Copies of this chain bind each other. A is one copy, B any other.
Amino acid sequence: MIERLCVIGVGLIGGSLARALRDAGHVREIVGASRNAAHLQRAVELGVIDRFDTDLASAVQGADMVFVSVPLGAMGAVFQAIKDTLADGAVVTDGGSAKASVVTDIGEAIGEVPSWFVPGHPIAGTEQSGVDASFSELYRDRRVILTPLAETDPTAVERVRSMWEAVGATVTEMDVTHHDEVLAATSHLPHVLAYTLVESLARMSEQREIFEYAAGGFRDFTRIASSDPVMWRDICLANRDAVLNMLERFNHDLASLSTALQAGDGNHILQIFSDAKSARDGFAE
């Protein structure tokens, strides 16, 4: 049970966690915090949070759990703002899509990576953003990855794990670097490809007409290009090395597909497409 939860950044991710913890009866009071009073007021009206504070330092006072769900580029400033007013025994965790950068940010803000910080990442979300898009079921049957460090207090990890399990998620732990590589592959690179393709087509002169003839497959393929651009810029920058590695790997494979196509090598192309279909059918049931 959480006595007082402070959610910093009450959008899709933070708002959905607040809703879900309340529905699960796992929290007594929820304080929302960010620099935007209008957004926070909306979150109160929606019943997502009980009250809010636009001053982060006072917002976290007395909270036993703090969840930071702001774009990765804003993490450092948040840690800086809250470090001196956190309650004794408070646990801080986050929802950032890359973990090495967050660990670096908190290390720089505090002077060392504190034992009470548990880096986390719920593998959930939609292309929507903002508190209006938040919903209580977002984390049900989804995975949450925690990436504790050697210095992380095991009881802090347990409290964060219980929080996520209370909202129906399955929690696993992995190494920070490994997390960042896996997510670069399955999430960050696909977003880069979708954004690049849509922007590329939008610049073609026939753009209006082109999109008119886009069928269902294209809509699904490009859905992630409707995601929040600021959030995704931050993710790419924060996880730059892993994303660049994946881009290099992908470019290599795309070049070999192009070569096969240029040569009219149908067998090679069929092999790639068939292997992809088996893999995709396999993981999508």
Q: Which of A120-143 contact B (CB under 8 A)?
A: 123-127, 142-143
Q: Is the CB of B276 within 8 A of A199?
A: yes
**If A206-B182, A261-B240, A280-B225 touch, does A253 touch B196 (CB 8 Å cutoff)?**
yes
Contact residue among B204, B254, B282 (Cβ-Cβ distance under 8 Å from A185)? B204
* Chain B minimum-CB-distance residue to A202: B279
Q: Is the CB of B220 within 8 A of A272?
A: no
CB-defined contacts of A202 to chain B, threshold 8 Å: 275-276, 278-279
- A256-273 vs B: 1/0 string, CB under 8 Å? 011001101010011011
**If A233-B266, A261-B243, A276-B225 touch, does A284 touch B219 (CB 8 Å cutoff)?**
yes
Cα-based distance from A240 to B237 in the complex (angstroms): 35
CB-defined contacts of A213 to chain B, threshold 8 Å: 123, 143, 145, 182-183, 186
Q: Is the CB of B225 within 8 A of A277?
A: yes
Q: Is the CB of B199 within 8 A of A185?
A: no
CB-defined contacts of A124 to chain B, threshold 8 Å: 215-216
Q: Which of A95-147 contact B (CB under 8 A)?
A: 123-127, 142-143, 145
CB-defined contacts of A212 to chain B, threshold 8 Å: 143, 283
Cα-based distance from A269 to B232 in the complex (angstroms): 9
Work out how many copies of this chain go into the complex. Answer: 2
CB-defined contacts of A270 to chain B, threshold 8 Å: 229-230, 233
Cα-based distance from A282 to B196 in the complex (angstroms): 16
Q: Is the CB of B244 within 8 A of A258?
A: yes
Q: Which of A227-243 contact B (CB under 8 A)?
A: 227-230, 232-233, 236-237, 240, 243
* Chain B minimum-CB-distance residue to A240: B261
Q: Is the CB of B276 within 8 A of A196?
A: yes
Task: Report if A191 contacts B (CB, 8 A).
Answer: yes
Binding site for B on A (CB under 8 A): 73, 123-127, 142-143, 145, 182-183, 185-187, 189-202, 204, 206-207, 209-230, 232-233, 236-237, 240, 243-244, 247, 249-251, 253-255, 257-258, 261-262, 264, 266, 269-270, 272-284
